[in-house]
Amino acid sequence: MNKASSALSGLYLLLILFFLYIPIIVMMIMSFNRSELYLLPFEFDLVWYQQLAQNDQLIGAARNSIVIALVNTVIATTLGTLTALCFARYEFRGKRVLQGMLVPTLTMPWLITGTAMLMFFFWSGIGRGLHSILLGHVALSLPYVVIIVGARLRSLGVSMEEAAATLGANGWQTFWRVTAPLMAPGIVAAALFAFAISFDQFVISYFLAPVGTSTLPVQIYSAIRKGFTPEINAISTIIILASMVLMIGFARFSKFGGER
């Protein structure tokens, strides 16, 4: 590749990154601007963070989103990992059919899924509430966990497990000392994905949230309909910074993708 091609490639990448990140950067900067209408010149102030601290609705919605996302991560990762392990290591009747049924759940629009869940939960008596939101998030997250962990298992093969068995390890010893450590990067990646899906989920949460209770995406949507305030910029900035810290920490202290 000559210098001209390299320069064009670099410029193209720079434009893509600029397009992706400039709206986020502007939003973060404006969360520190005194003006409610984003007037310039810029005047640094923490007034919107102070008002955010007093906004019980946004804080309560954020708390609901975090709790639901954490519980969803534990449940979906556990069930999805066991399912992926079952698909990868065992043969049984109907296995291909069950694996194939994972694909429609990934491609089906969430609007259709949310409508179906709302009708089913009312028909079954489960109703609307944080518990039904959690069930909906687990249902959405499970296929992703199964696919991510399953891909990790397929890349590993069974040679290490067979070697452990020939050396005298029983099933539990093989799993905990060989399979589980090798699966760990895939499990962590799937858990992060499940958390992100749940925390960011709007459609399912909007359909299943009870009156007076909501998650952060639903609360932000409701606030924007009534009139946008920079408090949303403030809480979005906090979420972005927290996410960046978590991802950098994961990349720094894990061996996912190679040795440190």
Report how far residue 225's alpha carbon sits from residue 79's, in angstroms, rounded to the nearest whole number.
37
149-200 pLDDT tens trace: 988 888 877 777 778 777 777 777 777 878 788 888 888 889 988 998 899 8
Report which secondary-structure segment, H or E, holds 172.
helix 171-174
Whether the per-residue pLDDT at 147 is higher than 60: the answer is yes
191-217 pLDDT tens trace: 988 998 899 888 888 888 887 788 888
DSSP 212: T
35-64 pLDDT tens trace: 777 777 777 888 888 888 888 888 888 889
DSSP tally for the chain: helices H, then strands E:
13, 0
Range with the largest mean pLDDT of 10-19, 70-79, 87-96, 117-126: 70-79
Q: Which CATH class is domain 47-253?
A: mainly alpha
76 vs 220 pLDDT, higher one: 76
- Specify the pLDDT at position 255: 54
Provide mean pLDDT across the span 77-88: 90
Please, which residues have CB within 8 angstroms of residue 147's CB and are 6 or more apart in sequence? 84, 102, 106
Specify whether the CB–CB gap between 232 and 223 falls below 8 A.
Answer: yes
CA distances to 119, 169, 215, 251, 254 from 260, rounded to whole Å, are 49, 30, 37, 9, 8
